[in-house]
Amino acid sequence: MNRMDEPLRISDDMAAVRDRHRRAADELIRDEELRLYIDGEWIESDSEKRLEIVNPTTDTPLASAPAANAADVERAVTAAWRGFESWGEYDPSERQRTLGRIADRIEANAERLARIDVLDNGKPITEARTDVELVADHFRYFSGVLRSLEGKTVPGGDGQHVETLREPYGVVAGIIPWNFPLLMATWKLAPALAAGNAIVLKPAEETPLSVVELLHLAGDLLPDGTVNVIMGYGPEAGRALVQHDRIGKVAFTGAVETGKGVMKDAADNITDLTLELGGKSPIVVFPDADIGTAVDVATEAMFFNCGECCCAGTRLFVHEDVYDRFTSAFVAAAESLTIGDPLSESTDLGPEITHTQRNRTEHYISLAEDAGAEVLTGGPATDRRLEAGYFVEPTVIESVPHESRVVQEEIFGPVEVLFEWSEYDDMIDRANDIDFGLAAGIVTEDLEDAHRAARDMEAGNIWVNQYNTFPAGQPFGGYKQSGMGRETARETLEAYTRTKTINFNLERS
């Protein structure tokens, strides 16, 4: 578990990292005491409680934010209804132009937004830049597709004319996770606004900084109250938002257990939901797979964003004919990754988001060892050069029972579990033997095998010979306990509207 006593590839010494991050925070963070954004203004919370926002790379404070309460939620929802009245007067072409201007502002400030996410989340700067590119692209996509939102005429009986309209809910809510702070906010913001709604956003308490910055940069483009941002804890602010009787729809991304709680809270008002929850996604490597491609796909699937990704490919099924060659190459690839300062261009893995998440990942590695697993590489980061942050080495495990907790439960850390397979049907049974169904990956040169496996896998998103590509327009969502509804596509736009049917009696008109 010590990489055969080879030194870790670390991007810089911690003294230099601390200094770099301190200077970046001084440059990028506008206010170390954040406020709520309600009705177009930055205001204090009704609550006297505050959240501490910590840099996971250096374990030092970045800022503090208000811990909003039910009274703050009430103010935000009331403001959003006023914002909806104004935003609702914009015709589709005006909404399109406005979303395009937001995208322009994002692109003009892309490096600033990416660096803020690095400080707040710990993701490598190269990945943060990709996130921001997708943020701008999703605003542009929904600015275009919103003009395709149409009703239809339905054939009726004699003397009847039946037509439908698509109408916005009015005010919707978005609850955002910490692993992709700005991108996940955009997955809610862009379609909600495109459909004509106003929105109340609750960022994760750990990572509100890039969402706050977006409103500083582009909030003036929207009528006051159209977008409102409240920070706070889930059980207090999040729950008050979900339970509010004037919220028409809630879009939530997060853990399964929290999602179940959201469903229960939304039930009282029969509030519409989109839920994108956890995953434990399989990657299947067929015997004809190019080993280099398979290693690249598996590395991207597992170690992207330090494994803190709902669709991470955490269960790797490799055919017996190529298992040894693949495993040797994959372990070498994991050991070649550079961990350390996420502001460094050379870093592949940054820290996990909190010390709690790091400890959780290390606990699962221990559980795997207790279950008889062999750790081929990685484990807790014991190198003293990384002791300031929440680092875990890229970890590869084999010989673990498929029913064990490390296989069945979402870890949200850089831990890959390997399985060898020989019979297709047995492999598919094991790949599907999980409560989740968010994503899966297939590596093969045979399109027939690829289509067969994609049809047989119980997952909402299947990647073939690639992984973690999210072009706007590609529906994203899960099967089973991985959630319901789809994001990032035209059907997402429809999910932020309701159908109204109008039936005319022409004989009496």
Contacts of 48 (CB under 8 A, 6+ apart): none
Six token digits for residue 239: 């729950």
Can you tell me whether residue 478 is helix, strand or coil? coil
Six token digits for residue 496: 């932020």
From the candidates 310, 362, 393, 416, give the one annotated as an active-site residue: 310
Assess contact for 471 and 489: CB atoms under 8 A.
Answer: no
Q: How distant, in Å, are the alpha carbons of 131, 279, 349, 354 from that of 425?
A: 37, 22, 35, 40
Burial of 151 (0-12, 13-18, 19+ CB in 10 A): middle
Q: How distant, in Å, are the alpha carbons of 98, 169, 173, 424 from that of 81?
A: 19, 11, 12, 54
Chain-centroid distance, C-alpha 174: 12
Residue closest to 256 by CA, chosen among 392, 426, 114, 434? 434
CA pair distance 421, 270, nearest whole angstrom: 45
b/e code 429-441 from CB counts within 10 Å (16+ = b) = ebbbebebbbbbb
Give the CA angle between residues 447, 450, 451 to the nearest 5°: 90
CA pair distance 352, 140, nearest whole angstrom: 31
Question: Is residue 205 among the annotated active site residues?
Answer: no
From the candidates 206, 276, 352, 393, give the one annotated as an active-site residue: 276
Assess contact for 104 and 85: CB atoms under 8 A.
Answer: no
CA pair distance 475, 274, nearest whole angstrom: 13
Question: Is residue 306 among the annotated active site residues?
Answer: no
Report CA Rg, the chain. 24
Tally of CB atoms within 10 A around 7: 8
For CA atoms 70, 71, 77, 83, the dihedral sign is negative
Residues carrying an active site annotation: 276, 310
